[in-house]
Amino acid sequence: MDFELNTVEAGTVTSVHGFVAGAVSAGIKKQDVLDLAILHSITPCTAAGVFTSNAIKSAPVLINQQHLRDKKAQAIVVNSGYANACTADKGKNDAGQMAKSVAKKLDISPQDVLVASTGVIGIPLPMDKIQKGIEKIVLSGKGGHDLAKAMMTTDTFAKEIAVHIRIDQRGFTIGGVAKGAGMIHPNMATMLCFLATDAVVDAKFLQSALKKAVDKSFNMITIDGDTSPSDTVAILANGMAGNPTICEQNGELFQRAIDKVCIYLAKSIAKDGEGATKLIEVTVEGAISEQEARLAARTIASSPLVKTAIHGNDPNWGRIVSALGRSGANIKEDKLDAYIDYICVMEQGNPVPFDKEIAITVLKKQEVLLRVNLNLGHGKANAWGCDLSTEYVNINSAYTT
């Protein structure tokens, strides 16, 4: 089989056939910025979703779980500013009302609308502003960029991508937008991500492919160890590419494409962590299982002591090994190799002398690679995080005041 997987230039969700989007400044946030958006497919879609593991779930998450029972959806509405979490019955009514208003505007069933809200917890949504905003939104095939902006809270840049897969003479596209920044941690990061594809995909496979992609991407990033009640990754597949139905048996290329989109968006979220000045990529090899490799990689990437050391370009590698040690993964200290980028700092459990100045230079890069080999098995995983700066503290010490 002849195929190509290419990134679409300036790609986003509306790079995908049949998807339109739009956003407005509805006045939900104090600043005059985009804060309300709709993504819409002109034809009905197969849909799938993965949601927060937090026991406290936002009203939109609860509604989406209901709306996805039939594995179909055709629109997503999202606001930033307030999360509609910890808002009791009023919150559930408000989320339901958002779905109804969008359904009326688009002439579809409320059951086919997914809802997402991000921002401050515990404060009811300004529903009058949201209702008026929904009416005002104009949808177009170029609206994906505005959608990506309207989702942002403390994000400093919009996160979007599209990839096109050409298979023989045909092909399909997957596009995605995401927001992250604070409260980001595995299972899942506090984050929203909406994916769109024109591929024809079996509903059951769509759900499993999405879950696999999320496990390799959004569940492997960490900003601060907190998990939000609002985490949502959803995908709509409208089938306009007209390809033979993709399912478990022939799904390898689709999986590869959705993985690529999700890993790109996840890394963008990590890079844009609140106050972050660089991306940290942690690779763990030689674990006794992939699960233990993931655990170890995430623990290292989320250690505040590792994150502050990287922020200060300090090759204090003992913190890497120490975080690894408390991860819960099986470790034999006398088998352990550790590297800062290409510099070996520990070999078979012995500290290896290295040139500190060179290590500092390596740590000053925009992307810092930490690697450990447990030399016990074949489990391997990557995790991504960011450094911890004083700016993180400044952002988060006065978020509502």
Residues marked active site are found at 190
Tokens 């940290």, residue located: 280
Does the footprint of its own copies cover residue 311 (CB under 8 A)? yes
- Neighbour tally for 167: CB within 10 Å: 17
**Piece of 25-33, 118-126, 195-203, 283-291 that binds its own copies (CB under 8 A):** 118-126
Q: Which of residues 228-257 bind its own copies (CB under 8 A)?
A: 228-229
- Chain-centroid distance, C-alpha 312: 27
Which CB sits closer to its own copies, 305 or 369?
305
Q: Which of residues 209-228 bind its own copies (CB under 8 A)?
A: 224-228
Does the footprint of its own copies cover residue 290 (CB under 8 A)? no
Which residues sit opposite 285 in a β-bridge?
A: 373
**Piece of 16-24, 48-56, 97-105, 129-137 that binds its own copies (CB under 8 A):** 48-56
Helix (H, G, I), strand (E, B) or coil at 42: strand
Which CB sits closer to its own copies, 41 or 302?
302
Among 325, 344, 369, 380, binds its own copies (CB under 8 A): 325
Task: Give me 138's structure tokens.
Answer: 């104009």
Scanning 5-47, the segments in alpha helix (DSSP H) are none
Among 3, 43, 56, 170, binds its own copies (CB under 8 A): 56
Among 44, 314, 369, 377, binds its own copies (CB under 8 A): 314
Task: Tell me how far CA of residue 267 lies from CA of 217, 280, 381, in angstroms.
Answer: 8, 9, 14
Q: Assess contact for 23 and 150: CB atoms under 8 A.
A: yes
What's phi and psi for 164, nearest 5 deg? -115, 130
Does the footprint of its own copies cover residue 277 (CB under 8 A)? no
Which CB sits closer to its own copies, 108 or 127?
127
The three-state DSSP-derived secondary structure of 201-256 is ECHHHHHHHHHHHHHHCHHHEECCCCCCCCCEEEEEECCCCCCCCECHHHCHHHHH
Which CB sits closer to its own copies, 75 or 346?
346
How far, in Å, CA of 70 to CA of 59, rounded? 19
Site string for its own copies, 70-109 (x = CB under 8 A): -------------x-xxxx---------------------
**Size of site (CB under 8 A) for its own copies:** 71
Edge-first strand listing for the sheet containing 367-373 = 221-222, 379-386, 279-287, 367-373, 337-340, 343-347, 350-351
Does the footprint of its own copies cover residue 183 (CB under 8 A)? yes
Q: Which of residues 371-390 bind its own copies (CB under 8 A)?
A: 388-390
Among 304, 335, 364, 365, binds its own copies (CB under 8 A): 304
Q: Which of residues 328-347 bind its own copies (CB under 8 A)?
A: 329-331, 333-334, 345-346
